[in-house]
Copies of this chain bind each other. A is one copy, B any other.
Amino acid sequence: MTAGGALGIIAGGGRLPVAIAGHARDAGLPYFVIRLSGLAEPELSSHPGEEHNIGALGAIIATARKFGADRLVLAGNVPRPDFASIRLDLRAARCLPRVLAAARNGDDALLRAVAAELESEGFRIVGADEAAGVLRAPAGALGAHAPDDEAQADIDKARRVVRALGEHDVGQGAVVCAGLVLAVEAAEGTDRMLERVAGLPPAIRGDAARRRGVLVKQPKPGQERRIDLPTVGVRTIEGAANAGLAGVAVEAGGALIVDRDAVVAAADAAGLFVFGFEPDTRA
């Protein structure tokens, strides 16, 4: 709990925790990984750390103390659990009423409640961007391509849709093509949404020969940015390419790019833009 303590990475699914752990190792910083069973990528077991079930909050806290954590980052995908069936240890059971009450108000409230529990134990919760700053999306075009006027109009429309939804704690993404909202993201996640767009009638979307439409991801208004920033990785680019989109746009500073070099290479090769737009002036 001293200055210069270790960074604890509580790892759900996907590439984000892998990228943060790799960054910490490469930078020679003290760190460890708590792998959530059934969620964390298997390769994370090559890092210092331990594996725990998601309901084993007491054991997770004990591990964090053992490894000398002063900061914790919650990273990766964690599907909302079935609270009626997960195994809870005593520490988790103690905070369950608070967490359940928060869960009724949506995923963001749920994450805030979990973060508050960990902070009450003396840890500081940091965002993935603070844990590995290189991952934050910059403003402007990231690769070789940039949005044209139609794509820019689609970006603007998709931003309005995502903002309207975010006020109800729904999703962080939408796909718009030539002014038509093709898909809105909720519990299924971005990859599934992009698969769906690829299955829509060709008349209302683009294709590899003539790319049209954009995926926009941006944080919800007032979002818990330490925990749940929208993320773009190579799979996102592949999904967007497969859906015939012209590109992917994210809020500069408000989204994470995982494996940036690979993302840019994939986008350049497929002819897609990856673009960071300025945050809303009205916060």
Contacts and interface: CB of A to CB of B under 8 A. Distances in A.
B182 A184 contact: no
B203 A81 contact: yes
Contact of A201 (B79, B103, B199): B79
Contacts of A170: 161, 181, 184
A261 to B, nearest CB: 32
Q: How many copies make up the complex? A: 2
Residue from A157, A167, A184 with most neighbouring chain B CB atoms (10 Å)? A184
Given A80-B204, A103-B179, A203-B79, A171 B184 contact: yes
Nearest to A79: B201
A266 to B, nearest CB: 25
A184 B165 contact: yes
A19 interface: no
Interface of A: 79-82, 85, 103-107, 157, 160-161, 164-165, 167-171, 174-175, 178-188, 192, 196, 199-204
Given A80-B204, A82-B202, A104-B179, 10 more contacts: A79-B204, A80-B180, A82-B204, A103-B180, A106-B180, A164-B165, A175-B186, A181-B187, A183-B187, A187-B200
